[in-house]
Amino acid sequence: MEADMARWVDVTVPIRHGMVHFPGDPEVVIESTEETHSWGICRVSKLSLGVHTGTHVDAPSHFDVPGGGVEAIPLAGLIGVARVLALRGPRIDPSVLEPHDVQAGERVLFKTSNSDRCWSNDEFVPDYVYVTKEGGRYLADRRVRAVGIDYLSLGGPDDGPATHRHLLGAGVCILEGLDLRRVGPGTYDLLALPLLIPGADGAPARVLLSRLE
Ligand SMILES: [Zn+2]
């Protein structure tokens, strides 16, 4: 039987040679090799990239929080009902989150001006919308299951590590680099599958959303 793919929106950022990455992270390099055999051509590409490239998850070890690497991230946090919240920047702090009444166990994905502004730009956009450390603590205290954002880091230039530590320390799954341009606020089925790279502090993920009525 054919899967009903029409209901799924792919919110994954394509991995491309030379694509935008967080400052200081490795360049993304894709090299194709081509061998000609008597029976025809065989191609095997080589991919070199940081594990926090494009759409990806963060593991606790990213900021030296107990809990391990990517293999330890519970898939239950990344698969299931999620709420896309349209949030206004420039910073996401508790006052921005308060009206949305985030509940324990929820998966929340933040659609900000990043989606429209950043993904159409091949250069890194430094003034992206981010979650402050107070916002991170608020979400950790609320015991959300997963938090996602629509650019390369959930945290800001100054207090980014603290934001991550609050969330990772509370066992919250972090999804970064979502492209939410084609998705409005509402309730969705979330399917996020990070590559299984044991010990890695992050991993690229394919992420799909399907609107729930
Ligand atoms: Zn990351």
Distance 116 CA to ligand 1 centre (A): 20
Q: Are 65 and 165 in contact (CB under 8 A)?
A: yes
- CA atoms of 48 and 162, how far apart (whole Å): 29
What's the pLDDT at 89? 85
Q: Are 149 and 178 in contact (CB under 8 A)?
A: yes
Count CB-CB contacts under 10 A for residue 101: 8
The predicted model scores a pTM of 0.95
Please list the ranges in the chain whose pLDDT falls under 70.
1, 213
Q: Is the peptide bond before 90 cis (omega within 30 degrees of 0)?
A: yes
Distance 82 CA to ligand 1 centre (A): 20
What's the pLDDT at 3? 76
Q: In this structure, are strands 107-111 and 79-86 parallel, antiparallel, or unpaired? A: parallel
Distance 152 CA to ligand 1 centre (A): 7
Q: Are 130 and 156 in contact (CB under 8 A)?
A: yes
What's the pLDDT at 20? 96
* Residues marked as catalytic: 62
